[in-house]
Amino acid sequence: MTELAADVVRRGRTAGFALVAIAALTLAVNTSWIVRHLDWLRPLEAGQAAPPFDLPVLGEDGAPTGARVSSAALRGKVVVVEFWATWCGPCLASLPRLDRAARGWGDRVAVVAVNLDDSKKAAKIFEDDGWRLTLTASDEETATRYQVEALPHAVVIDRDGVVRLVARGGGATRAVEEAVGRLLAEP
């Protein structure tokens, strides 16, 4: 009976060491990820460099056109990134106003409407309403990096790629228009 007990103890110790090793490895991997992605974990605020993005442009049928819009290509312009969904009432209320403002701003401002849900339905809404904003599909990484938690979620980025405004929730279009107006007035 003593030999059996020693064998059980040995297996228990081995299992315990294995669990400790797995926990240590998991901790090391998570710590490494956090260190490499620290900018993803900080709250997105005015004054920070805007997280980079590279998103597929959607066509009239909701399928990607093959074209992409990226933050790098938009450097030198004021950029408004609007995250929205087809089921979001405040989003559908803000997009027409944002489209009117974008038409007034012309080529001086790039407005990217990032759809978070149904690309086909989003394209139909854009076509039916005649909006000329750049419609893109989201990827999980961009929405995460921009910390999209409430919709609509708008971010105004200056010509140098610095966030100037983060506006979450409905009723933020006026704040976006004011922020863009200030940026356009700068030399």
DSSP assignment string, the chain: -HHHHHHHHHHHHHHHHHHHHHHHHHHHHHHHHHHHTHHHHSPP-TTSBPPP-EEEEE-TTSSEEEEEEEHHHHTTSEEEEEEE-TT-HHHHHHHHHHHHHHHHHGGGEEEEEEE-S-HHHHHHHHHHHT--SEEEE--HHHHHHTT--SSSEEEEE-TTSBEEEEEESTT-HHHHHHHHHHHHH--
Task: Please indicate whether residue 39 or residue 24 has the higher confidence score (pLDDT).
Answer: 24
- Give per-residue pLDDT as tens, 92-125: 999 999 999 999 999 999 999 999 999 999 999 9
pLDDT > 70 fraction of the chain, expressed in percent and rounded: 92
Q: What is the pLDDT of residue 39?
A: 55
CATH of domain 45-185: 3.40.30.10
- pTM here is 0.77
Tens digits of residue pLDDT in 25-49 = 888 877 776 666 555 555 678 889 9
Reported as a single tens digit per residue, the pLDDT across 59-74 is 999 999 999 999 999 9
